[in-house]
Amino acid sequence: MTTREIQDRLRALSNREAASFAARYFKTGPGQYGQGDVFLGLRAQVMHALAKEYKTLALDQVIELLRSAVHEDRLLAQSQSHPQGRGLGVTLTAWPAFLAARTP
Cβ neighbours of residue 62 closer than 8 Å, sequence gap 6 or more: 77, 80, 87, 90, 91, 94
**What is the model's pTM?**
0.76
Residue-range domain boundaries for the chain: 3-102
* Residues 19-57 pLDDT 10s: 999 988 888 888 888 888 899 999 999 999 998 888 888
* Cα dist from 47 to 35, 54, 71, 73, 79, whole Å: 22, 10, 11, 10, 9
Give residue 88's pLDDT: 46
Does 90 score more than 60 pLDDT? Answer: no
